[in-house]
Chains A and B, each alone.
Chain A
């Protein structure tokens, strides 16, 4: 279980409160598909992904991006129990979706960068470090049911 200081809890919540899921979700997923094109292997059902503009204009990518970001809300609300909170999602990603966990790290990095574009100077070094600690806990939880 990850330990959080009060400062870290309030930092994660403060960042989360500033995130517009409808904006950040689609953009973060678009970034991962554009910056790391091999991730497209998991998204065969999303249609046109051949060019950056195809990805950016793809409504299914946008919808799925929103789904992923909304799921992060559960982690923000349950920071002391992220592993249990994501047990079912972890099983899904392993048994049904067969996702290599390295991809979780790639998406986490893209989420951080998308958030940084929006928050700009509000995402200083300490805030980034805390936010990344939070996303690492999420990534670990998503791997927890891989066996």
Chain B
């Protein structure tokens, strides 16, 4: 459950991350690949080395989608409808991986924001990313 204050905080934070979407996204992905090598299996068709064009563009895509959802969290199912279909019928990423990615995104944000990544911000974003992942997996079955 997200309070109004939390939704505002989340929207603010992701708005500020949009200009550095590439850096944030690729950092989170690299962390996930390093800590959870099994996740690399979904990317065997891409070059996911640090600073590669694929990694940067993919990281950017993910962060921009998260930021877009953050603009109006109450509309998450509508906003994510196309991505729901993509993940359910084409990508078919096991949803456990969403948790792994979310954790790495939190670490990326902690490194990026330092003490500005307060426990309250941490809680709000963790809740948001959980909701995002749940909506993303809704069409799976």
Contact = CB atoms under 8 A, between A and B. Distances in A.
Interface of A: 27, 30-31, 34-35, 52, 55-56, 109, 112-114, 116-121, 123, 125-126, 128-129, 132
A125 B110 contact: no
Contacts, number: 59
27 contacts: A27-B119, A31-B122, A34-B119, A35-B119, A35-B123, A56-B119, A112-B107, A113-B106, A113-B110, A114-B110, A117-B111, A117-B113, A118-B114, A120-B111, A120-B114, A121-B111, A123-B111, A125-B27, A125-B30, A125-B34, A125-B35, A128-B31, A128-B35, A128-B104, A129-B31, A129-B34, A129-B35
The 9 closest A-B pairs by CB, nearest first: A116-B110, A125-B34, A129-B34, A129-B35, A35-B123, A34-B119, A125-B31, A125-B30, A117-B110
Secondary structure call for the A interface = helix
B107 A126 contact: no
What is the predominant secondary structure among interface residues of chain B facing chain A?
helix
B54 interface: no
B33 interface: yes
B107 A34 contact: no
Contact of A52 (B107, B115, B123, B126): B123
A113 B122 contact: yes
A131 to B, nearest CB: 9
B22 to A, nearest CB: 16
B81 to A, nearest CB: 29
A112 B117 CA distance: 13
Contacts of A125: 27, 30-31, 33-35
Contacts of A34: 119-120, 122-123
Given A34-B122, A112-B107, 10 more contacts: A35-B123, A52-B120, A52-B123, A113-B117, A116-B107, A116-B110, A117-B110, A125-B27, A125-B34, A126-B34
A129 B119 CA distance: 22
Nearest to A122: B111
Contacts of B33: 125
B40 interface: no
Contacts of A117: 110-111, 113-115, 117
A81 B126 CA distance: 33
Nearest to A114: B110
B65 to A, nearest CB: 22
